[in-house]
């Protein structure tokens, strides 16, 4: 299979690319960091094709996809993984430019790559779109505001794609992870503050990128008549809190 993974320069994307390559598939891997992509090309030459573009840039994405050489052109699986959270401030203090970056990356980036690669899948009546959503799509938390909103979009977009694809063999899956370590996600969220990012995972066992890569591979290798609509996964160390209730008097013990 030919697997197109956005955001392979770190985290889940790197693990997903590595998993499919290890299984003998060809991978088109994208990101903005040229040197990381070059290193992957050197390591997996022949099986890995790098594309350097920003998923927010529709024309750059189109140019990159049109440049794919013949052996990588007929993409079977698109993994819309590139994405980010920025900040954890409450909505009235959040940075509006960061909100726009999240919307442009997590919503527009997914829409652009999907729209560019889907026609070929429909034409071949073969394909699978796997989106990286988040538990934040369904479980709000303080400071999740726009990030959660973008991932709710990813979830609903995934379901609506399947509605459009009724009658075709093309599958769509939304993977919704909870707390995951071993990626750059929190360093990016906390704008390079490594100590604050590390504190998120202290004393707990989060999900790791390999767990996500396993799950993507599993969803992509179900029998052709099975569509996994969504998978929500959390580490055992994470679960749901009670709904918050503001009281004017302290509750009786």
Active site members: 147
**CB of residue 146 vs ligand NAP: minimum separation in angstroms?**
12
Q: What's the Rg (C-alpha) of the chain? A: 19
Size of the site for ligand NAP (CB under 6 A): 28
CA of residue 130 relative to chain centroid, distance: 8
- What are the tokens at 115? 């729209």
Residue 142: how many other CB atoms lie within 10 Å: 10
Instruction: Judge residue 125's burial from the number of C-beta atoms within 10 Å of its C-beta, 0-12 exposed, 13-18 middle, 19 or more buried.
Output: exposed
- What are the tokens at 242? 């009670």
Interaction with ligand NAP in 217-246: which residues (CB under 6 A)? none
CA distance 31 to 10: 9
State which residue, 110 or 165, has the beta carbon closest to ligand NAP. 110
State which residue, 98 or 126, has the beta carbon closest to ligand NAP. 98
CA distance 226 to 36: 35
Interaction with ligand NAP in 74-103: which residues (CB under 6 A)? 81-84
Binding mask 163-192 for ligand NAP (x = CB under 6 A): --------------x-xx--xxx--x----
State which residue, 27 or 126, has the beta carbon closest to ligand NAP. 27
Residues that bind ligand NAP (CB under 6 A): 6-13, 31-33, 54-56, 81-84, 105, 132, 134, 177, 179-180, 183-185, 188
């Amino acid at each position: 299979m030919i697997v197109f993974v956005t955001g392979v320069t770190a985290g889940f994307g790197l693990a997903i690319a590595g998993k499919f390559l290890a299984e003998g598939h060809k991978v088109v891997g994208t990101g903005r960091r040229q040197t990381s992509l070059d290193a992957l090309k050197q390591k997996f030459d022949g099986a890995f094709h790098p594309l350097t573009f920003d998923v927010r840039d529709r024309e750059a994405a189109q140019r990159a996809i049109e440049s794919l050489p013949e052996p990588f052109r007929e993409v079977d699986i698109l993994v819309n993984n590139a994405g980010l959270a920025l900040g954890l401030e409450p909505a009235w203090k959040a940075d509006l430019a960061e909100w726009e970056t999240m919307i442009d990356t997590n919503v527009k980036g997914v829409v652009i790559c999907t729209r560019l690669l889907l026609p070929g899948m429909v034409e071949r009546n073969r394909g699978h779109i796997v989106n990286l959503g988040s538990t934040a799509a369904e479980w709000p938390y303080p400071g999740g505001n726009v990030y959660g909103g973008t991932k709710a979009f990813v979830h609903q977009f995934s379901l609506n794609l399947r509605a459009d694809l009724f009658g075709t063999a093309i599958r769509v899956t939304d993977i919704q992870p909870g707390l995951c370590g071993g990626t750059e996600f929190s360093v990016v969220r906390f704008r390079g503050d490594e100590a604050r990012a590390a504190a998120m995972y202290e004393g707990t066992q989060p999900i790791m990128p390999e767990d996500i890569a396993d799950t993507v591979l599993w969803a992509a290798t179900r029998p052709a008549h099975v569509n996994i609509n969504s998978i929500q996964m959390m580490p055992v160390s994470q679960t749901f809190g009670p709904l918050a209730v503001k009281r004017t008097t302290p509750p009786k013990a």
